[in-house]
A and B are shown apart, each in its own frame.
Chain A
């Protein structure tokens, strides 16, 4: 594995609204240079919380209770708001989940794309505009000039996601957080967007933390993968190993739940109850362990 660019160490968080229920249970993971790290799990597993913690946009009802997020030798959790603002957009960028709401409906694409380039890359208005055109070209948009002059509602979902990807990678960050970037898209468009992210990532040597609930998507794009369940990392490793020889029962169940066309339809397979029971027992034991250790 390559030099780690982002390393999350024993990150824990609780929900203040939900009776201090743990959301993250000492999650550790590292994203190497020019590596795509997948973060998989069902909804509520804490995938997005990790992504938000890296970006410093944790909602007010969530509290980080421990651990660190080390990026280039600095703990992002301990940076002042101003220091974090300097890192965001320059070294770390986000490809958001829903392209229909992540673009400002009242501003044209060129204004939205050039903002970051001018603020974070110090380009002049003219240079930024040219760069934005080149970026749209790079994400396979055929008529960049026209798209730049459009409002978001004039573009299709796939186009908007391309614009967002171009905006994120255009800042030439070292790390891109992709928060379910294909969930809101058609399956056919999904595939194009995944290829696009992968090719941009390879060309620029960017590290990507790729959040998804879809193992199929993760299999296509990620080098490493972390499987989360109820805020705990249950399995971690190279994507090939995890997907071909899962060690944890939950990962096996997740794989089985993925519909496939190359084998007979066995009907929908929910996670088997005994797997869930085992997981819950594992987590209860883990919680008991941390409680006694923190008490002692």
Chain B
């Protein structure tokens, strides 16, 4: 054989700039703005007692339905006005983030965990396992989700844990379907065959080779699911099936505001705006993450 000569394969073949995942995410305006808003909400939820200007439960019937500052007859100290019982709307919205975000993170996280595990197994092992899990998903999805959640909460009793269980029980299928399809696609790839020829166990192939390729889709889906969980919690609060009425929730505030919307629109508008902004933020964040994390698209 001929002798080695220096070849063209040098460092020039490596892309000069190798931005880390974090750096790439920080360049995406969607991720920065929406993610920043979510971080802001988390701070509000954690530090609610320090940030809220008033006690969210303190009633004062003398200053009931006071409009936000800047409108006629507004009360100093009540920036976004008061509700029908004279409680501070701003403080109640701030405290309301606690329930919303708890549900968003815990319920979406659990649904993601259960749904993705089943999806990974269905997509990777195929045949009997896939048949079993896929039929289960089909049957599950035949139930109308909102009715099913109301039924579940009615059976389990109201409270935060019931709301979380209801969301997990309904929405795991969303993760299962997406992860199953994604796993099936990845399992056909050459790198999986290559891993098999090194003699890796099936578990190692599934969790070390395939899972990292499913994670970007999963993170995006998880973020979207958080938005959905916030809405479902608001719906359940609205119909009085969430936490007890002495805990401020956006859904509960919307229900109260609906009754006096002609006299005091802000009681309805403020929690509605908070809900809207939160869901939009989660959706945009999911979108941005899906784009930035995809290993094939990021070139």
Given contacts A104-B213, A153-B295, A202-B1, contact A192 B15 (CB under 8 A): no
- Please, which residue of chain B has its CB at the minimum distance from the CB of A220? B1
B1-44 to A contact mask, C-beta < 8 Å, 1/0: 11010111111011100100000000000000000000000000
9 shortest interchain CB distances as A-B pairs: A88-B199, A89-B198, A106-B212, A89-B199, A101-B190, A85-B199, A156-B13, A94-B197, A143-B11
Chain B interface mostly: loop
Interchain CA distance A243-B15 in the complex, whole Å? 42
Residues of chain B touching chain A, judged by Cβ–Cβ distance below 8 Å, are 1-2, 4, 6-11, 13-15, 18, 189-191, 193-201, 204, 208-209, 212-213, 215-216, 295-296, 298-299
Interface centre among B14, B18, B295 (most CB of A within 10 A): B14
- Please, which residue of chain B has its CB at the minimum distance from the CB of A164? B194
Q: Is A116 an interface residue (CB 8 A)?
A: yes
Min Cβ gap A152→B in Å is: 9
Residue tally, chain A, CB below 8 Å to B = 53
- With beta carbons under 8 angstroms apart, the residue of A102, A107, A143, A198 that contacts B190 is A102
Cβ B13 vs Cβ A155 within 8 A: yes
Interchain CA distance A151-B209 in the complex, whole Å? 14
Which chain A positions have C-beta within 8 A of B9? Answer: 140-142, 156, 158-159, 162, 189, 192
Residues of chain A touching chain B, judged by Cβ–Cβ distance below 8 Å, are 55-57, 84-90, 92-94, 96-98, 101-107, 115-116, 119-120, 140-143, 146-147, 149-151, 153-156, 158-159, 162, 164, 171, 177, 188-189, 192, 195, 198-199, 202
Which chain A positions have C-beta within 8 A of B18? Answer: 149-150, 154
Cβ A192 vs Cβ B199 within 8 A: no
Min Cβ gap B127→A in Å is: 10
Given contacts A105-B213, A146-B11, contact A93 B197 (CB under 8 A): yes
- With beta carbons under 8 angstroms apart, the residue of B8, B190, B198 that contacts A115 is B198
